[in-house]
Amino acid sequence: MKLFLAPIQGMTIALYRNLYAEYFGGIDTYYSPFIDTNNMRKSNSSLFKDILPQVNTKGLDVVPQLLSNNADNFKFFANTISAMGYKEINWNIGCPYPMVTKKKKGSGILAHPDMIREFLDEVCKDLTYDLTVKMRLGMDDLEEGIKVIEVLNDYPLCGVMIHGRTGRQMYTGTVDLDAFEVLYKSCQHEMTYNGDIFTVDDYNKINSRFPDIDNFMLGRGALIDPFLASDIKGGTLTTSQKFSIMKDFHDAVYSHYKSIISGDKHLCDRMKEFWMYTSVHLDPTGKFLKKIKKCTTIHAYLEVINQLFHPSNGWME
């Protein structure tokens, strides 16, 4: 069984991936946030800064992801990335955000199987890397997903990852496991399940229903509870040990941003982004998150953090 960390824009950047691996582990492969290939004129080193080999911890398995509906652009970016030494590149046809889908990219292209076929006809002519695809059930309904899988089956892909919602749902409602099963059974490529794995129990239920699936992608659940992957693999850390590690993880993230960001407000704003997911697990009542959101100085921010991690809050067993 392998666990993958999903690409989440603005969150699973190189710093986060490296520190996540150092402090929590459990993840076998990290998928980087997508690079949009739309504007070739912007194809410069800044676009690739998050996946340059030197920014990855040595030995960390990272897979770059591209967002595109233009085969020529995709091939240019993919070949550039492949030349860096990456063995796998992931095509994003699952992003559900309207600013993407309205351009027939991400899950917006799922309603256009002919576009997908035309795209893959060109991209798969001379592959020098393993090509995988991340998708949803469809943009609006399962019938779209069925047609897309029929297209994908005709190409030499190395894997398909399916999030169990439609693009239109974004992240509302729940995953549709019955619909996922339809696509899984009709797909001829190695399958990865993605969607709503927030606890070990969630994983066990999905694994029980689909025992032949060996790959699972964790998204928001792994950001909310960074120990989720290691717990799924049988981790035995105590609550006090986990909170001690969380404090060290926070301090490492904070120290990095402090070294590159000038001004209290800018640093506070960046750390507020850090807490967007993490607070759900560490601060379920939202008490400390409210205080963090009000912080405009580093002094005030660190005071809240010290309160949050104080043993009196019940972190020690």
Q: For every one of its 317 residues, what pLDDT tens digit does the chain have, with 9 covering 90 and above?
A: 999 999 999 899 999 999 999 999 999 999 999 999 986 655 566 889 999 999 998 889 999 999 999 999 999 999 999 999 999 999 999 999 999 999 999 999 999 999 999 999 999 998 999 999 999 999 999 999 999 999 999 999 999 999 999 999 999 999 999 999 999 999 999 999 999 999 999 999 999 999 999 999 999 999 999 999 999 999 999 988 999 999 999 999 999 999 999 999 999 999 999 999 998 888 888 999 999 999 999 999 999 999 999 887 765 55
Rounded to whole angstroms, the Cα distance separating 81 from 142 reads: 33
User: What share of the chain in percent tops pLDDT 90?
Assistant: 89
Rounded to whole angstroms, the Cα distance separating 186 from 232 reads: 28
**Which stretches of 14-97 are DSSP H helices?**
14-23, 71-82
Other Cβ atoms closer than 10 A to 166 = 22
Domain boundaries, the chain: 2-232, 239-310
Over residues 216-262, the pLDDT tens digits come to: 999 999 999 999 999 999 999 998 899 999 999 999 999 999 999 99
To the question of domain 2-232 being in CATH 3.20.20.70, the answer is: yes
Rounded to whole angstroms, the Cα distance separating 170 from 150 reads: 23
Q: In what order do the strands lie in the sheet with 29-31?
A: 35-36, 65-67, 88-93, 130-136, 159-163, 191-194, 215-218, 2-5, 29-31, 62-63
Rounded to whole angstroms, the Cα distance separating 167 from 206 reads: 21
Rounded to whole angstroms, the Cα distance separating 21 from 273 reads: 19
Contact yes or no for 193/213 (Cβ under 8 A)? yes
Distance in angstroms between the alpha carbons of the first and the last residue of the chain: 32
Q: Checking DSSP bridges between strand 35-36 and strand 130-136, what pairing results, if any?
A: unpaired
**Which stretches of 127-262 are DSSP H helices?**
142-152, 177-186, 200-209, 220-224, 228-232, 239-260
Q: Which residues, 6 or more positions from 132, have their beta carbon under 8 angstroms from its beta carbon?
A: 63, 88, 89, 90, 91, 157, 158, 159, 160, 161
Distances (CA, A) of 10 to 17, 24, 25, 313: 12, 20, 20, 30
State pTM to two decimals: 0.94
Helix and strand tally (H, E) in the chain?
13, 10
